[in-house]
Structure 1
Amino acid sequence: MITRLTPQDRSFYRLESSTNPMHIGSLAILRNRAPAGNSGHAPLDYESLLTLVESRLPLVPLYRRKVREIPFALGRPVWVDDAHFDITYHIRRSALPEPGTDDQLLDLVARLASRPLDHTRPLWEMYLVEGLSEGRIAVFTKTHSALVDGDSALEIGHVILDTSPAPRELADDAWIAHREPADLELLIGGLLHLATQPREALEVARHHGAEAFAMVDAAGKALRTLASMVRAATIGVPDSPLNIHTSRNRRVEVVRTDLEDYRKIRKRFDCSINDVILAVITGALRNWLLSRGQVLTEADTLRAVVPMSVYADGPSGELKPAGEVTSLLVDLPVGEPNPVIRMSHITHATEAHSRQERGVRARTLVHMAGFAPASLHAMSVRSASTFAEHTFNLVITNAPGPQQPMYIGGARMLEMYPVSPLLRFQALSIGLTSYDGRVFYGLTADRDAMADIAVLTASVHESMEEMLGACVQ
């Protein structure tokens, strides 16, 4: 069976480079000891994880398919069944020296997040990390952004979660790989497809035509580059140490906070939880910049792409999923020293710019049990990447998770963190996930540019305390 990549999937597939791998990561930390009085509970191990994932693969069929290029680049690449699919290649086992610390886990995750996926195989990997202190284990998943569209294709971490310790049963999967097509078949199929798609055929001709076409193509690229530069100058993206050429290596840090604190601030300032999150991050970024000796004026801002309008606040502060992932540009007032005024600026900015949202449909997600956020973060990265380079300083993604305990193979999930990719010229990406009464931050940074990322994570707590203090004034 052959399925052509959509134009957007192709753009994500092409966007990847050695210094900017385009996979979305998800880190789940699990309690893996049997509860008191439940001696029948079997801990999650490598073999049981293999069995669980294999039983859920029918829910994510692209996870057994790989990308094949059309010879001579005559059209979009295609998905084909991997005739040699080996689940043990994709699900791997790692261990920390017991008792492993959270810092050691994050160092391991950073190294794994730095490595591009193997493009000759299905574009995903999963790691079972054993040896964590207090009987915990971790499951780290990385999936290429081209794989997840939120409608027909979900992220693997989304479907292995259950709402009870007993994994739900699915029908047996009798999957048999279709024969992998030869290059000649792909070439003929590509030509037939182009015959019915004049616009795509013209695009291919521009890349493979005579020198005149090459000159036109180069001129077109130059004009697009000039237009992008003019647009960036018009928008006036603020200068920032966050916008550099990134290295191959990453740092990963996390922050744990209580959802109830955000609800208190939301109630006090009559705003959304999204606004509160942005205000807390703004205060943290301000403190981080000051720690670097940067002189700030009250007018200084950082511009963020914010694909976080993926849920609405219910009347009692509960999180309600919506059917669309949207993005907007928001200026974060990092120069403003007063937290109340910062909150006011952000509330007005999100209201004013809501009309500029870039929407990406995610219909399937809202019907999934548990409403796990892994797929939403992948969708958010896709939405954020629709903005031109040099028009923003960082990406902040926020996706709701279930507010009841979730399980992977009977092991209760304690924490869940997004590990977002860095877009080109972006030294920092911040992802947030709410789950079971907590809000978990995952910060992914360029290792060379942000050796002081621990200062930023500590500043999140300082900013939260500052906002809570403003509530009682």
Structure 2
Amino acid sequence: MITRLTPQDTAFYRLESSSNPIHIGSLAIVRNTESGEGGGAAILDYDRLVDLVESRLALVPRYRRKVREIPLSLGRPVWVEDSRFDITYHVRRSALPGPGTDEQLHDLIARLASHPLDPARPLWEMYLIERLSDGRCAIFTKSHSALVDGDTALEIGHVILDAGPAPRDVADDAWIAPREPGDIELLVGALGHLARQPRKALEVARDAGAGAVAVLETAGRAAESAASVVKGVLTGAHSPLNTRTSRNRRFTVVRTELADYRTIRRRFDCSINDAILAVVTGALRNWLLSRGEALTESTTLRTVVPMSVYVEGTNGDQAQTASEVSSFLIDLPVGEPNPVIRLSHIAHAIEFNGRHRRGVRARTLVHLAGFAPASLHAMSVRAASTFAEHTFNLVITNAPGPQAPMYIGGARMLEMYPVSPLLRNQASSVGITSYDGHVFYGLNADRDAMADIGVLAAAVRDSMEEMLGACV
């Protein structure tokens, strides 16, 4: 089957460069022995993971499709079935020098996240990383942002997770590699499409002479954001978060307890999202101070905050389903020294912006039990891309995950961290996911511009302590 990329799919596909790979990453840590001590037999090995992924590909059919350009650029690229699809090319294995430490794992993830995907194949890879300490292994998945839209195309992490140790039954997949269309066939199809829709000829001409940003403009998304002006002090060339990026990355994580955010919510009558952003703001403040930045009480960082709008569970805490992903700009008050006042500013800003948000549909997610948040992070990056490049300092994606244990091939998932891409001239990205009573931060950063990413990670913990101290 041949389907045309949407304007936004096309934008993401063409935005990618060697220094800006635009793929969504997801890191899952699983307990891979019965005892958890590392001495027992592995529950999930490479062959079992390959079988699991292959059996679930029918649920994410775009993962067998690759992108083909139309000859002479007569139209947007198309998705076509990969006649040479090889599951073992996409599902790979790696190992740490055992027993591997978390720091070694994070270094490996940084290297894997630095490499663009092969444009001649379906745009995704998955790695089984073995020999972690304490009987654990890791699964790192990266999917191109053009591949996942959260509605018609989900991230593969959705479909390999199960609610129990026994993998759920999935209908047999009778997929057979089809014949790929030739260039002449694609050209004839594009000409026929233009003949039926003459107004598309203007779009083709625009695409042929413009970059991916212009594609986004033709989609009608960037016009509004281009009118936004970055406010505050730490903006543009003055912000250490906005600089030219290299092709290399650093990655680190922070694990926090969901119960702590609930404590903040109860004390100050705010939302969990408000509490999370307040902790991030305090962390950014401490990080900026560690760099010697001169902050005043009015100093802000303008942040794109795509957030999942979800239906809460019966206890008011557990996110069950997401109905849309909303995106808006918030000025985080990093200059404010009082954590309670910071939280108040953030809560009011989110309440105001919530009435004027731009939503991205997530209808598929509403009906998918046990969903993983990776698709929501993919949608969040899409939402963030609708803002003009020089109008913000940082992207923070926050997606709720299941609050009950999940399993991959029978192995219990212990932790899950998003690895969000860096948009152009963004030195860092912050991805946040809640799962099974915890809130997990994935901090992805440019290797040259953010050598002190570990300072930011430590600042998250310090900021949490400061917020909890204010609750007393």
TM-score bracket, normalised by the shorter chain, equals: over 0.9
**SS of residue matched to 1:151:** coil
CA contact (8 A) 1:60 1:155 kept: yes
Between the aligned partners of 1:193 and 1:166, the Cα distance in structure 2 is 47
Shift of 1:208: 5.9
Cα deviation, residue 233, structure 1: 6.1
In the other structure, the counterpart of 1:406 is 406
CA-to-aligned-CA distance 1:374-414 (integer Å, 9 cap, x gap): 11111111111111111010000011111111000000000
Count of residues in correspondence between the two structures: 460
What pairs up with 1:143-158 in 2 under 5 angstroms?
143-158=143-158
User: Is residue 279–residue 463 contact of structure 2 (8 Å, CA) maintained in 1?
Assistant: yes
Residue deviations 1:422-462 (CA, integer Å, cap 9, x gap): 00111110001100000000010011000001000000010
The answer to whether structure 1 residue 240 and structure 2 residue 239 are counterparts is yes
1:358 alignment partner in structure 2: 358
Contact 1:237–1:392, Cα closer than 8 Å, also in 2: no
Aligned to 1:121: 121
How far apart in 2 are the matches of 1:312 and 1:291? Answer: 39
Q: Which runs of 5+ in 2 are unaligned?
A: none
What is aligned with 2:21?
A: 21
Q: Contact 2:308/2:323 (CA < 8 Å) preserved in 1?
A: no
Change (3 A) 1:182 1:354: same
Q: Which residue of 2 aligns with 1:57?
A: 57
Q: What is aligned with 2:342?
A: 342
* Counterpart code for 1:361: R
- The amino acid of 1:253's aligned partner reads T
Question: For 1:253-272, what aligned pairs fall within 5 Å after superposition?
Answer: 253-272=252-271
Whole-angstrom CA distance in 2 between matches of 1:136 and 1:227: 47
Deviation at 1:21, TM superposition (A): 0.6
Q: Which amino acid aligns with 2:284?
A: L
Q: AA paired with 1:123?
A: L
Residue in 1 aligned with 2:331?
331
SS across alignment from 1:322: strand
In the alignment, the residues of structure 2 paired with residue 90 and residue 185 of structure 1 have an alpha-carbon distance, to the nearest angstrom, of 28
TM-score by length of 2: 0.93
Matching of residues 405-424 of structure 1 within 5 Å: 405-424=405-424
- Mapping of 1:93-172 within 5 angstroms? 93-172=93-172
1:468 match: secondary structure: helix
Provide the C-alpha distance between the structure 1 equivalents of 2:84 and 2:323, rounded to a whole number of angstroms: 36
Structure 2 SS opposite 1:295: coil
Q: Does 1:427 align with 2:424?
A: no
Q: 2-side partners of 1:154 and 1:424: how far apart? A: 24
User: Which residue is equivalent to 1:370?
Assistant: 370
* C-alpha displacement of 1:235: 9.1
Q: Please name the residue that 2:288 is paired with.
A: 289
Query: CA offsets, 1:330-365, max 9 Å, x none?
Result: 110000000011011111111122233121111111
Q: What whole-Å deviation, never above 9, does each CA across 1:140-194 have from its counterpart, x for those lacking one?
A: 0000011111112110111100011111111211101221001000001011111
Partner of 1:447: 447
User: Cα deviations across residues 69-103 of structure 1 (Å, max 9, x unaligned)?
Assistant: 00011001001110000000001110000010000
Which amino acid in structure 1 is aligned with residue 24 of structure 2? I
Tell me which residue corresponds to 1:311. 310
Separation (CA, whole Å) in 2 of partners of 1:339 and 1:380: 27
Give, in whole Å, the separation in 2 of the partners of 1:257 and 1:78: 42
Shift of 1:279: 0.2
TM-fit CA distance, 1:18 = 1.2
**C-alpha displacement of 1:225:** 11
Q: TM-score, normalised by structure 1?
A: 0.93
In structure 1, distance between residues paired with 2:345 and 2:267: 16
2-structure distance, mates of 1:109, 1:453 = 14
Moved more, 303-312 or 178-187: 303-312
Residue of structure 2 in register with 1:44 after alignment: 44
Partner amino acid for 1:245? Answer: R
RMSD: 2.3
Whether contact under 8 Å (2:319, 2:400) holds in the other structure is yes
Aligned CA distance change for structure 1 residues 172 and 97 (closer, same or farther; 3 Å): same
Conserved? CA contact 2:32–2:135, under 8 Å: yes
Between 1:12-21 and 1:316-325, the stretch displaced more is 316-325
Q: Structure 1 CA distance, aligned partners of 2:206 and 2:312?
A: 48
The worse-fitting range, judged by mean Cα deviation, of 180-189 and 350-359 is 350-359
Counterpart of 2:282, as a letter, is G
1:232 aligned partner, one-letter code: V
* Cα distance between partner residues in 2 of 1:201 and 1:325: 32
- State the distance in 2 between where 1:81 and 1:8 align: 20
- Is contact 1:56-1:159 (8 Å) kept? yes
What secondary structure does 2:342 align onto? helix
CA distance in 1, matches of 2:460, 2:352: 26
Q: Deviations over 1:273-306 (max 9, x none)?
A: 1100100000000000000111110000001100
In 2, are the aligned partners of 1:129 and 1:138 still within 8 Å (CA)? Answer: yes
Q: Quick one: distance in 2 between partners of 1:207 and 1:254? A: 39
In structure 2, distance between residues paired with 1:298 and 1:236: 10
C-alpha separation in 1, matches of 2:431 and 2:226: 28
Change (3 A) 1:310 1:316: closer
Name the amino acid aligned to 1:88.
T
Tell me the CA shift for residue 62 of structure 1: 0.5
Question: Cα offset for 1:124?
Answer: 0.2
Residues 311 and 323 of structure 2 are in contact (CA less than 8 Å); yes or no, is this contact kept in structure 1?
A: no
Q: What is the letter of the counterpart of residue 170 of structure 1? A: V
1:2 — aligned with what? 2
Asked if the contact 2:326/2:360 (under 8 Å) is kept, the reply is yes
SS in 1 for 2:402: coil
Q: Partner letter of residue 273 of structure 2? A: N
Name the residue aligned to 2:12.
12
Q: Partner residue of 1:69?
A: 69
The equivalent residue for 1:179 is 179
SS in 2 for 1:266: helix
